Amino acid sequence: MDDFLVIDHVTKSFGSHRAVDDVSLSVAQGEAFSLLGPSGCGKTTLLRMIAGFERPDSGRILVGGQDITTLPPEQRPVNTVFQNYALFPHLSVWENVAFGLRMSRRPREEIRSGVDRMLELVRLGEQARKRPAQLSGGQRQRVAIARALVNRPQVLLLDEPLAALDLKLRQHMLMELNTIHEQVGTTFIYVTHDQGEAMSLSDRIAVMNAGKVEQIDSPEHLYETPRSSFVATFIGDANFFTGTVVELQHEGYVRVMVEGLGSPLVLSNGTISSHQTLRLMVRPEKISLTLKRPLSGDRVNAFAGVVEDIAYFGSHTRYRIRAGEHHIIAQLQRSRFSGGEIAPERGAEVWMSFHPDEGRVVLLEDAA
Amino acid sequence: MSTDRQSSKQWLLTLPSLAWLGVFFVIPAILVIVTAFRPADLHGGVGAGWTMATVHEVSDPAYLPILWRTVWFSGVTTLVCLALSLPMAFQMARVGPLMRQVLLLLVVIPFLSNFLIRIFAWKSLLHPEGPLTRLLIWLHFIPEDAMLLNNAGAVLLVLIYTQLPFAILPLYAAAEKFDFGLLDAARDLGAGPWRSFSKVFVPGVWRGIVSAAVMVFVCSLGQYVIPQMVGGASDEMLGSKIAQRVFSDRNLPHASVLAAGLMLVVLVPMLIVAVWQRFGRKEAVS
Amino acid sequence: MRRSWLPSLITLAVIVFLFAPLVVLVANSFNASRFGGEWEGFTWNWYEKLWEADEVWESLWITVKIALSASFTAMILGTLAAYALHRFRSWLQDVHSLLITLPLVMPDILMGMSLLALFVLTGVETGLLTIWIAHVTFCLSFVTMVVLGRLQDFDFTLIDAARDLGATRVQALKKVLLPLLLPGVLAGGLLAFTLSIDDYVITFFVSGPGTTTLPLRVASMMKTSRSLPVINALSTLLIASTFILAALSFRLQRRA
């Protein structure tokens, strides 16, 4: 894999606060990559260090093999789409897009054709003479992208590119960003706190928490095999159970004793020893609900519970079910219950079940 | 290295204004206080040596009524200005953006018009031959021989007139930031118009009220042109005495003692507000 | 929802109160009557008298000279001060901020009196120079406040954006900060100009022979009743120019 953008053991502190704590990662040329995490996790600081607005305390940043760690922002082969776009209010759309080319003193003819072509790409040729204040949110966003891309950066940084847009527009721009990325083939680095955005925009995602990278993976892998409970909760919903390993089976399956739930069988992804304490994770949509006890093969985990609460979402319905001390969330496609059984009501006794392959060991804790 | 450059850049940017105000604002203020303890010389200058004589001279109880009148005039001016500006600021913040600009312009124009001209306008309005006097006599509101000019009422009226914009502008700035949805909420919860105004709006613009009050009070304290032009002999304020000592008596030390006294009177309400705001801010944080 | 009519009524009353004296003054500048108690017919007479009053025009020229130079100086000092106040957080800026704020609440008479004390004690002859110094001193704080307000509205990520697009630090200031800040700086300068033209009290303390500014001239004219109607005419012109300057300043503030 070619390491085009490399973050090499980068650390940055503000006072006593470690905003970015020994982060290393590499991004391939042409990849769409996301830095995902809650606010304050260090993703924006990392972005600002790649752009050149902050200097790392230690570590290096390389683009295409060149060390850019100490270069000022104006000398980096990197451009940014700012969170609130930062369009110059005193310049027209055309002048905004031409700004970068003017700064690098390109010939007049090249500036004209470059700006026109870029405005065509983002379909704003008609708006070239307008001021940013006269544009809609989506149009401003496209100007910001054109203004950055016209300089042919080797890496394009996008800081929360969709946060300022309303829901409808956001879904539209999501598609548009994917199209633009395909057309220009530049490396895109997104910074976002929205897991849905990150999943649909990127080839790979780095989930960050408290200045560290928790996991770097494709969206599918992050969802299916989160390595920590933080990643599991940040991407999608999850039910967690703490238990003790009682039996190790072949092919990585382990039986775990969970207080109040019996001993479900789950798939582990690491080396596990007997009597170890660990955490299990099951996604709400992986849990099946039935009124009767499911025909139990030895490989299905099933337990009884009482429906506490029901929330209807149209495409799906969520149930909160109490089983002993546990409150479990199960999410069902509406059609699931139409096949003969009546949907359970509040207070009804139901059976929850999930396949061992759908249960995950997420965080190994030291046996006390 | 970069902090050194930051620091020298800061000094470079700060020094021009800091030095100017240091030389032409701070040092003169200190000089006034120093001069208060120097003797006068016969040519209108300041003599050598030190003396407490002038301070004793000014401690004369004859000055007390003037000091009292100065504070009293300023206090009444402040209260009337606030009473008029609060509903006005409330109204300005509630109307549409165009009307708001028009009202603001209407407040600013008299504010920026020449100070003397505004006093002069009142002087001719209140003149025994002037239109207002004529009108009021014709309406039988005042007797034929009434004098509207050269009394305490005229001084107060013109004080209020000239200080009113000083109250409206900061109050408007505060009211503009006020969330008028809160008034709807108050009405929804059963408060009448008056109670929602006094219990929600007034506390909401409290800081604006304080700065408006300080502005008007302090500016009124130092007035001397208004009492001189529309007041009578018994309507002198502290400022009148200072001007008199400087220009008629040419006694700079004597004027300095009075000016130092005025400085104290000005600083006291400002200190109270500064302490209150610091205290208030701490309270808001914890 | 039903709105109380009281605030609108008070607003109307205040506007009438603010403008009534000015309206009467303007009307009387065209009134043939000397005291303006009643209307005795339209006349240009007072304006003709004003036109012939050479000393008024001489004072106007002195006033404009001082106002231009003082507001220009205050504009530069004030813009630097506002930038420093906005950019840095330190004990130095705390002191700086205090020094900028105090003149705003210092009564004119104290400022005039203390500057006079300075000039008397240092033996500086009062005249154009001392008036200029005094005017810069009281205009400085106002300009700083106006520009500071502008800076607080300024989105500093625009500077980051410019540098990201290849502008150096200096280019970013020149191409982005300056054009966006300019209307605020000019509005501050305009305010300083108006304040300088208007000032009577401070100028009175620090003026010398041959430096009778317009407000000083008006004050001395007010002492002789013969020239009272001429003051009406002069005032009308001054109010009109204030109106134009204020409208201009509003336009500057609203742009961007």
Under the banding of pLDDT at 50, 70 and 90, the label for residue A341 is: low
- Six token digits for residue B35: 């001069």
If we measure between CA atoms, which residue out of B215, B205, B204, B202 comes closest to residue B78? Answer: B215
For residues A145 and A80, what is the distance between their CA atoms, to the nearest angstrom? 8
Phi, psi of B115 (to 5 degrees): -55, -45
Please indicate if any CB of chain B lies within 8 Å of the CB of C108.
Answer: yes
| Residue written as token pair 């304006």 | C47
User: Within 10 Å of residue A22's Cβ, how many Cβ atoms?
Assistant: 13
Residue type, A274: S
Q: What's CA B110's distance to the chain center, in Å?
A: 16
Domains, in order of start, for chain C: 1-43 (no CATH), 53-254 (1.10.3720.10)
Task: Indicate if A243 and A347 belong to the same structural domain.
Answer: yes
For residues B54 and B38, what is the distance between their CA atoms, to the nearest angstrom? 8
Return the residue of C nearest to A106 by Cα. C166
For residues C224 and C234, what is the distance between their CA atoms, to the nearest angstrom? 15
Task: Indicate if A113 and A177 belong to the same structural domain.
Answer: yes
Contacts of C190 in chain B (CB under 8 A): none
Contacts of C144 in chain B (CB under 8 A): 17
Q: Are strands A5-14 and A58-63 parallel, antiparallel or unpaired?
A: antiparallel
Under the banding of pLDDT at 50, 70 and 90, the label for residue A367 is: very low
B67 within some domain: yes
Return the residue of B nearest to C121 by Cα. B46
| Residue written as token pair 């607005």 | A53
For residues A183 and A180, what is the distance between their CA atoms, to the nearest angstrom? 5
Asked whether residue A336 carries a pLDDT value surpassing 60, the answer given is: no
Beta bridge partners of A354: A301
> Of the ranges A2-6, A14-18, B33-37, B274-278, which one carries the lowest mean pLDDT score?
B274-278
pLDDT of chain C, 256 residues: tens digit per residue: 456 788 899 999 999 999 989 988 888 888 887 766 678 888 888 899 889 888 899 999 999 999 999 999 999 999 999 999 998 988 899 999 999 988 988 889 999 999 999 998 888 888 999 999 999 999 999 999 999 988 988 898 999 999 999 999 899 999 999 999 998 899 899 889 988 998 999 999 999 888 899 999 988 888 876 778 888 899 999 888 888 887 887 777 665 4
Q: What's the domain count of chain A?
A: 2
For residues A274 and A262, what is the distance between their CA atoms, to the nearest angstrom? 17
Asked whether residue A165 carries a pLDDT value surpassing 90, the answer given is: no
C165–A90 CB contact, under 8 Å: no
B28 within some domain: no
Instruction: Give pairs for A145-148: CB < 8 Å, separation 24+.
Output: A145/A81, A145/A177, A145/A180, A146/A97, A146/A118, A146/A119, A146/A121, A146/A122, A147/A87, A147/A96, A147/A97, A147/A99, A147/A100, A147/C165, A148/A79, A148/A80, A148/A81, A148/A100, A148/C164, A148/C165
C107–B239 CB contact, under 8 Å: yes
Task: Indicate if A225 and A248 belong to the same structural domain.
Answer: no
B286 within some domain: no
For residues A183 and B16, what is the distance between their CA atoms, to the nearest angstrom? 54
Chain B: nearest CA to C165, how far in angstroms? 23
Mutation for testing the A interface, residue in C150, C153, C165, C169 having most A CBs under 10 Å: C165
The DSSP H or E segment spanning C24 is: helix C6-28
In this prediction, residues A292-316 reach a mean pLDDT of 81
Task: Indicate if A160 and A304 belong to the same structural domain.
Answer: no
Q: Sheet with A204-209: list strands edge to edge.
A: A78-81, A155-159, A187-192, A32-36, A204-209, A212-217
pTM beyond 0.90: the answer is: no
B272 within some domain: no
Q: What is the 3-state secondary structure (H, E, C) of chain A?
A: CCCCEEEEEEEEEECCEEEEEEEEEEECCCCEEEEECCCCCCHHHHHHHHHCCCCCCEEEEEECCEECCCCCHHHCCEEEECCCCCCCCCCCHHHHHHHHHHHCCCCHHHHHHHHHHHHHHCCCHHHCCCCHHHCCHHHHHHHHHHHHHCCCCCEEEEECCCCCCCHHHHHHHHHHHHHHHHHHCCEEEEEECCHHHHHHHCCEEEEEECCEEEEEECHHHHHHCCCCHHHHHHCCCCEEEEEEEEEECHHHEEEEEECCCECCEEECCCCCCCCCEEEEEECHHHCEEECCCCCCCCCCEEEEEEEEEEEECCCEEEEEEEECCEEEEEEEEHHHHHCCCCCCCCCCEEEEEECHHHEEEEEECCCC
Asked whether residue A217 carries a pLDDT value surpassing 50, the answer given is: yes
Q: Write down the mean pLDDT value for chain A.
A: 87
B20–C77 CB contact, under 8 Å: yes
Asked whether residue A58 carries a pLDDT value surpassing 60, the answer given is: yes
Task: Indicate if A227 and A268 belong to the same structural domain.
Answer: no
B25 within some domain: no
CATH number at residue B200: 1.10.3720.10
Contacts of C60 in chain B (CB under 8 A): none
Out of A213, A233, A253, a domain closes at: A233
Task: Indicate if A201 and A243 belong to the same structural domain.
Answer: no
- Closest partner CB to C247 (pick from B105, B161, B246): B105
Task: Indicate if A130 and A173 belong to the same structural domain.
Answer: yes
pLDDT at residue number B286: 37
Q: Write down the mean pLDDT value for chain B.
A: 85
B12 within some domain: no
The Cα-based distances of C17 to A218, B92, C23, C31 in angstroms read 72, 16, 10, 22
Q: What residue numbers bound the domain in which B227 lies?
A: 62-249
For residues A243 and C57, what is the distance between their CA atoms, to the nearest angstrom? 96
pLDDT at residue number A365: 46
CATH number at residue A283: 2.40.50.140
Task: Indicate if A225 and A246 belong to the same structural domain.
Answer: no
Contacts of B28 in chain C (CB under 8 A): 111, 114-115, 117-118
Q: Are strands A58-63 and A66-67 parallel, antiparallel or unpaired?
A: antiparallel
Task: Indicate if A192 and A295 belong to the same structural domain.
Answer: no
pLDDT at residue number B175: 92
pLDDT at residue number A108: 93
Task: Indicate if A306 and A190 belong to the same structural domain.
Answer: no
- Six token digits for residue B26: 């701070």
Return the residue of C nearest to B9 by Cα. C84
For residues A135 and C188, what is the distance between their CA atoms, to the nearest angstrom? 30
CATH number at residue A194: 3.40.50.300
B262–C109 CB contact, under 8 Å: yes
pLDDT digit string, tens, across residues B8-46: 889 999 999 999 999 999 999 999 988 888 887 766 677
pLDDT digit string, tens, across residues A235-256: 888 898 888 888 888 777 888 8
- Six token digits for residue A147: 């203004």
Task: Indicate if A195 and A254 belong to the same structural domain.
Answer: no
C110–B125 CB contact, under 8 Å: no
Chain C: nearest CA to A76, how far in angstroms? 8
> Of the ranges A111-120, A122-131, B132-141, B192-201, which one carries the lowest mean pLDDT score?
B132-141
Asked whether residue A368 carries a pLDDT value surpassing 70, the answer given is: no
Please indicate if any CB of chain B lies within 8 Å of the CB of C227.
Answer: no
CB within 8 Å of chain C, chain B residues 163-182 = 164-165, 168
For residues A78 and B21, what is the distance between their CA atoms, to the nearest angstrom? 45
Q: What's the domain count of chain B?
A: 1
pLDDT at residue number C36: 67
Out of A233, A253, A286, a domain closes at: A233
Neighbors of chain B by Cβ distance (3+ pairs < 8 Å): C
CB within 8 Å of chain B, chain C residues 158-177 = none
Task: Indicate if A173 and A294 belong to the same structural domain.
Answer: no
pLDDT at residue number B184: 82
Angle A345-A347-A352 (CA atoms, 0-180°, nearest 5)? 80
Please report, in angstroms and rounded to a whole number, the separation of the first and last CA atoms in chain B: 37
Q: What residue numbers bound the domain in which A46 lies?
A: 5-233
For residues C127 and C66, what is the distance between their CA atoms, to the nearest angstrom? 11
Out of A190, A217, A233, a domain closes at: A233
Residue type, B149: L
B275 within some domain: no
For residues B89 and B83, what is the distance between their CA atoms, to the nearest angstrom? 11
Mutation for testing the C interface, residue in A74, A79, A83 having most C CBs under 10 Å: A74
Under the banding of pLDDT at 50, 70 and 90, the label for residue A340 is: low
- B133 vs C110, residue with greater confidence: C110
Chain B: nearest CA to C146, how far in angstroms? 13
Q: Sheet with A66-67: list strands edge to edge.
A: A17-27, A5-14, A58-63, A66-67
Contacts of C175 in chain A (CB under 8 A): 99
C160–A82 CB contact, under 8 Å: yes
Contacts of C215 in chain B (CB under 8 A): 114-116
Chain B: nearest CA to C188, how far in angstroms? 14
